[in-house]
Amino acid sequence: MESIVWPEGARSCVALAFDLDGPTGDAMLDGSLRHNPGHFTLGAYGPYRALRRILEVLASQQVPATFFIPTWVVTQWPRQCREIVEAGHEVAYHGHLHEPFWTLDDHRQREVMACSRKIFADLLGIQAEGFRTPSGDWGKDTAKVLLEFGVTYSSSMRGDDRPYFVNVEDQSASLVEIPARWELDDYASLAYTQAPDFPAGLDRIAPYRQVLENWCAEFDGSHAEGLCLTTLFHPKVSARPGRIALLEGFIAHMKSQHGVWFARGREVAAHWRAHHAGASIDG
């Protein structure tokens, strides 16, 4: 395969990313969450408690990361979210209540983006430029809406194992997509809740040692081919006392290899825009 040029002569790129969803999602959107305190506290545990462990691991390993945050979470836990920014990590769009954008018309998508933009500015003092689609799919107008809000990159789709450009009809600007994949979603191996039974049909979490081996194997393949790897990790899932060692071990394994460029999403996007005229997928 052709080799990709990364900064500082690096062999491959790692863009660690965490989705700080808290209790947002379907149950909040349909109102049922208010009657389900068990589910609510399971989600709230992420920003309220588990996030701290991730920030400590990132600080001790000295690697940057990107946090995709539904802005309702920012309104409920502003201090914790400010700590992310103060630590030098990137905060980026992830809806307000984790709305699945593919179910929203373009008007509603703009309302959600405008709401998020204001909360990020008012409570965190930032102008976000990245976006990860809640629940993983776009509506037909989403790419256009994102460009209108100054978004430069998305980390939502799965079309490649390198960043790529998404062109938008009638727009001169394009989005950089940093594809994320389920292999590096901690839900796939570590999530389990009884009520609701989710993920449906998965009644046991995976052995932790095997989870770490899987994550490291994904990195090893990406590094060998000089690609870009990102993660879909959730503090409430993988930053519990018995699991944080997995994240520590994963980062330590990657750092033990030569030539890994650890970067925030916006830096990956800027680099890709400056140096690569890669294959594009029309949006």
Per CB under 5 A, residues contacting Zn ion are 19, 21
| Shortest distance, position 127 Cβ to Zn ion, whole Å | 21
Nearer to Zn ion (CB atom), residue 28 or residue 260: 28
Q: How far is the CB of 86 from Zn ion (least distance, A)?
A: 23
Q: How far apart are CA 79 and CA 183, in angstroms?
A: 31
CB of 72 vs Zn ion, minimal distance in Å: 12
Q: What is the DSSP string of 244-257?
A: HHHHHHHHHHHHTS
Tell me whether residue 21 or residue 90 sits nearer to Zn ion (CB atom).
Answer: 21
The nearer residue to Zn ion, 23 or 226, going by C-beta atoms, is: 23
Q: Which is nearer to Zn ion, 191 or 216 (CB)?
A: 191
Closest CA to 173 of 183, 165, 181: 165
Q: Which is nearer to Zn ion, 19 or 141 (CB)?
A: 19
Helix then strand then coil, % of the chain, to nearest 5: 50, 15, 40
- Residue position matching structure tokens 């976006």: 131
**Residue 138 or residue 272: which is nearer to Zn ion going by CB?**
138
Residues 6 or more apart from 56 whose CB is under 8 A from it?
Answer: none
Residue nearer to Zn ion on the CB measure, 139 or 226:
139
Select the residue whose beta carbon is closest to Zn ion and give its number.
Answer: 19
Minimum CB–partner distance for residue 118 and Zn ion (Å): 20
DSSP strand pairing (164-167 vs 174-177): antiparallel
Closest distance to Zn ion from the beta carbon of 100 (Å):
10
- Shortest approach of Zn ion to residue 143 CB, angstroms? 19
Q: Least Å distance between CB 26 and Zn ion?
A: 11
Least distance in angstroms from the C-beta of 25 to Zn ion: 7
Nearer to Zn ion, 130 or 226 (CB): 130
